[in-house]
């Protein structure tokens, strides 16, 4: 059996308050191979902080601790920042929430995608341009030559998301962390963007962490699911077995989702009394 791509053991993220340090991620543990892992939970559950902590994007006075946080056998917490920067983007990429707004408004789309490649590889200008056009085609953008010359404000929201995905994937990382990558898009465009991510991830044999509050979406695109509540993992299961989840928080999330054949007058309200991690 091959070694896991990512090892997370007892990961904790905390921030100072007037009452002392408060943990927003409370000792979660999991491993990831070249597979698709979904992390789901409500806003404030700690799922985005988990993704940022893996890339060491939590800055002081925030604090990250773990018994082990390793990528491809390398201890991430002990790496100097210079070596950590070499891993970010090149080997681990992250698509942030509302990724279109992460684009630089005064630099063309093509230049920004090219920059993401040139930071991590020394290639001839012609090869860089060819890779940029190929990557735009891979994320299903028509007329990539024209789009490469546009500025971010000249593209739609869905196209902006695709451009950001292209930027994150052009260095051909081993792991992609996608944090609510389609939260600002229409449902029909969401499916298109997620299909693109899924095809690129599976085609290149990458690992994927898909962070979302949408259980059905994660169950469709992932192999395994972690359910987080109040900074803890309360349930872990195969995506195909989500309907059989046993933790009351997961059951509550499932029950609160509306259905096309809905007959209930009211959706149930989550009852958090007594809930906690397992």
User: What is the domain count for the chain?
Assistant: 1
Residue 2, pLDDT score = 67
Q: Is 9 inside a domain boundary?
A: yes
CB atoms closer than 10 angstroms to residue 205: 9
Residue 100, pLDDT score = 65
Residues near 122 by beta carbon (within 8 Å), at least 6 away in sequence:
none
Answer yes or no: are the C-beta atoms of 213 and 43 closer than 8 Å.
yes
Q: Is 235 inside a domain boundary?
A: yes
Residue 84 in tokens: 């950590």
Helices (H), the chain: 47-54, 81-87, 109-118, 125-138, 144-148, 157-169, 187-204, 215-221, 248-255
Handedness of CA 112, 93, 173, 153 (dihedral sign): negative
Q: What span, in angstroms and rounded, lies between the C-alpha atoms of 45 and 97? A: 15
Residue tagged 């009394």 (tokens): 273
CB hemisphere CA count around 104 (13 angstroms) = 12
How distant, in Å, are the alpha carbons of 35, 225, 235, 247 from that of 168?
A: 18, 23, 29, 35
Q: Could you list the mean pLDDT of each consecutive 10-residue stretch along the chain, which spans 278 residues?
A: 87 95 96 95 91 95 97 95 90 80 88 86 85 90 94 88 87 91 74 84 91 87 93 92 82 71 68 52
Residue tagged 């007037």 (tokens): 18
Q: Is 195 inside a domain boundary?
A: no
Residue 99, pLDDT score = 60
Domain hosting residue 222, numbered range: 1-85+209-278
Answer yes or no: are the C-beta atoms of 24 and 13 closer than 8 Å.
yes
Q: Is 100 inside a domain boundary?
A: no
Phi, psi of 183 (to 5 degrees): -65, -25
Q: What span, in angstroms and rounded, lies between the C-alpha atoms of 149 and 128? A: 15
Q: What span, in angstroms and rounded, lies between the C-alpha atoms of 220 and 21? A: 37
Q: Is 3 inside a domain boundary?
A: yes
Q: What is the CATH number of the domain that holds 263?
A: 3.40.50.300
Q: Is 28 inside a domain boundary?
A: yes
Answer yes or no: are the C-beta atoms of 196 and 162 closer than 8 Å.
yes
Q: Is 131 inside a domain boundary?
A: no
Residue 278, pLDDT score = 41
CA trace torsion 213, 216, 220, 226 (10° rounding): 50
- If we measure between CA atoms, which residue out of 206, 121, 113 comes closest to residue 163? 113
* Alpha-carbon Rg for the chain in angstroms: 19
CB hemisphere CA count around 90 (13 angstroms) = 11
Biggest CA–CA distance in the chain, Å, is: 62
Q: Is 146 inside a domain boundary?
A: no
């Amino acid at each position: 059996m091959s070694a896991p791509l990512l090892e997370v053991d007892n990961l904790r993220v905390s921030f100072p308050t007037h009452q002392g340090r408060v943990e927003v991620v409370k000792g979660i543990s999991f491993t990831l191979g070249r597979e698709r892992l979904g992390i789901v939970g409500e806003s404030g559950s700690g799922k985005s902080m988990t993704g940022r902590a893996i890339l060491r994007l939590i800055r002081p006075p925030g604090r990250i601790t773990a018994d082990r946080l390793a990528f491809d056998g390398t201890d991430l917490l002990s790496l100097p920042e210079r070596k950590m920067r070499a891993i970010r983007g090149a080997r681990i990429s992250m698509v942030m929430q509302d990724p279109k707004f992460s684009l630089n408004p005064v630099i063309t789309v093509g230049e920004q995608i090219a920059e993401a490649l040139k930071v991590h590889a020394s290639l001839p200008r012609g090869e860089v341009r060819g890779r940029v056009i190929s990557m735009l085609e891979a994320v299903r953008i028509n007329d990539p030559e024209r789009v490469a010359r546009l500025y971010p404000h000249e593209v739609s929201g869905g196209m902006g998301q695709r451009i950001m995905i292209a930027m994150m994937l052009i260095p051909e990382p081993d792991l992609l962390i996608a944090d609510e990558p389609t939260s600002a898009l229409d449902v029909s465009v969401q499916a298109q963007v997620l299909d693109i991510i899924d095809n690129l991830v599976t085609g290149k044999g990458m690992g994927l962490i898909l962070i979302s509050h949408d259980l059905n979406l994660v169950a469709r695109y992932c192999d395994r699911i972690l359910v987080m509540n109040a900074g803890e993992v309360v349930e872990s299961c195969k995506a195909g077995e989500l309907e059989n989840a046993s933790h009351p928080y997961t059951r509550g999330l499932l029950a609160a989702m509306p259905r096309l054949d809905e007959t209930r007058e009211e959706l149930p309200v989550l009852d958090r009394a007594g809930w906690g991690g397992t």
